[in-house]
Amino acid sequence: MEETAYAKLNLALHVRGREADGYHRVETVFAFAQAGDLLRVAEGDSLTLRIEGPFASQLTAEPDNLVLRAAAALRQRFGIARGAALTLDKYLPIAAGLGGGSADAAATLRLLLRFWALPNALEELVPIARALGADVPACLLSRPVRGEGRGDNLLPLAHWPLAGAPVLLANPRIALSTAEVFRAWGGRDRGALGEPMTGRNDLEEPALRLVPAIGDVLEALRATKGVRLVRMSGSGASCFALYEHDQARDTAHAEIAARHPGWWLLASNLRA
């Protein structure tokens, strides 16, 4: 069995305040690409993890890996005696604002739900997901949703006009710590989130100060034809562009790949 860990995008991310416990109150709209990391499972005597793929060298299969933590939490919650031999094909860059680790943990829960034949709906796994990280509940659903609080209070969207929208993801291959970006946030509440297309990412400014190359990525995406929206995702350094049609996205992909061969790029479409 296998499961995709869909790349997470924040179409908009408004930071509303910093709480006494150090966490931040946010308002965001989560969207997901149709591509991402790939997780596979086979029978095993215990819980094991092997990591492969282009970004495998940046991760270790230690017990604190989110994949193994998710598997252990699910097994404990339902009293599962079986093991699972997990393999993670890591295609998404690390510390990139795409929810890679959170998406991997969420995919683990979805995959093992099937592998261990647990008769539970995904929504019942949200408490497990929330304990693993603020983005994990949204990644568990992997469908468009609004997030509030720490981002783990999820609200359905009244409508979603962007199903299938062509998207191009770009990263300058520079890892960026989410904690550092939030610490660099200026603390000013710039207002509530309305429509995601007219929103903003309040972490873009502090991320740019830490990694100026993000500005080059945004500029390159904005210079392409047929683009509808360009924004940084999450805490960076990944950025994305939505396009009018697949051909415009594919042309932009080819042009940016030629001009910036060192960047990581992914052409996909948004999930419904």
Residues marked as catalytic: 8, 135
Residue with tokens 């009018």: 244
The answer to whether 240 touches 165, Cβ cutoff 8 Å, is no
Q: Which residues are CB-contacts of 259 (< 8 A; sequence separation ≥ 6)?
A: 220
**Gap between the Cα atoms of 37 and 88, Å rounded:** 7
262: how many CB neighbours lie within 10 A of its CB? 6
Angle between helices 100-115 and 66-78 (to 10 degrees): 40
Measured CA to CA, the distance from residue 73 to residue 90 in angstroms comes to 22
Where are the strands (E) in 140-238, listed by range? 145-148, 153-155, 166-171, 227-232
Q: Whose structure tokens read 């966490």? A: 23
| Helices 246-259, 213-222: inter-axial angle, 10-degree rounding | 140
Answer for the pair 8, 103: CB distance below 8 angstroms, yes or no. yes
Radius of gyration of the chain (CA): 18
Q: In the 3-class helix/strand/coil scheme, how is 11-32 assigned residue by residue? A: EEEEEEEECCCCCEEEEEEEEE
